[in-house]
Amino acid sequence: MKKILVLGGGGFIGGHLSKRLKDEGHFVRVVDIKNHEYFNENEFCSEFILGDLRNPNFVSKIMFAPNQSTTEVGAFDEVYQLAADMGGAGYIFTGENDANVMHNSSLVNLNVLHYATSMGVKKIFYSSSACMYPEHNQLDPNNPNCEESSAYPANPDSEYGWEKLFSERLFLAYHRNYGLNVRIGRFHNVFGPMGTWKGGKEKSPAAMCRKVSECEDNGSIEVWGDGQQTRSFLFIDECLEAVERLMNSDFMEPVNIGSEEMVTINQLAQMTIDLSQKNVKIDNLYGEEFLNKYGFKCPLGVKGRKSDNKLFREKIGWEPFKLLIDGLKETYNWVDHQVKNNTN
């Protein structure tokens, strides 16, 4: 049985990851600034601690493992660092939250790395993001370049992406200078049930599911942009499988964790509509019309983004295989249930 610490386990990916690790028989301590919305504490962890990872004194305490006698003996076998200030396009791309995103996430990572090193943590995973890839490589919606080697020269399209890139370098520097055993995964639009589906921080699949579920038959849903932006989406179960395989490997460089199945945002919306078996029209909103309605420019992100899994296949020997429609069906059924029961 491993001793495992999951930071950000109150969030979507962190909660699912914690539950998987606990189900595998490990001791799992979860730390977050908020409780998980859908998992009960005894369902997904051995111990839950509520607190702020921006506070170095707090981090020094939670990084000390149960029954750890010294910095060498009894330390956490694995730490998963998923805690971050983040959200969907409406949160990341308006510019209104840039300072908080960069300050909060950087502070958390600085604290975590300092105390992981001093407490003798044996291995640590950092959840980076595809948002760190250069905007100039993602201008063609039909042919985006998200190969790992394309990260430099750097030019992310958001401050969230810049912070992720900085923190990748920070984790690698701690490996070079202090011997910390690190793994870095660049997540590409992970989705699934038991996550945020309303309130502005939800990702595209959850937002589509909510809009379609709330829409009356013969009604319409609003989709930001012209709908021709492309993305790939990774179902949560396959994300967890990829993370576990990466952690069990010897590969220490940043690597994509995503699907290579790419769709337009309008295709994502139509797939969701088809699953609902409703007659729903897609209303694309952008440009002056969007600005007049909301008072800010339409936050779209890059025009195209798709995971490139060549390196993961080569170094880890596995890749995701679940079709988007199958994961979307599970997600829609869950979100539809939340909407109908008016729960959080």
Catalytic residue ranges: 160
In the three-class reduction of DSSP (H, G, I as helix; E, B as strand; rest coil), residue 216 is classed as coil
Tell me how far apart the alpha carbons of residues 230 and 63 are, in angstroms, rounded to a whole number. 40
Helix pair angle (204-214, 265-276), 10° resolution: 40
- In DSSP terms, 31 is beta-bridged to 7, 49
In the three-class reduction of DSSP (H, G, I as helix; E, B as strand; rest coil), residue 151 is classed as helix
Number of Cβ atoms within 10 Å of the Cβ of 340? 10
Of 166, 151, 98, 156, residue with least CA distance to 301? 156
User: Which amino acid is it at 221?
Assistant: I
Tell me how far apart the alpha carbons of residues 86 and 107 are, in angstroms, rounded to a whole number. 14
Please give the angle made by the CA atoms of 44, 106 and 35, to the nearest 5 degrees: 25
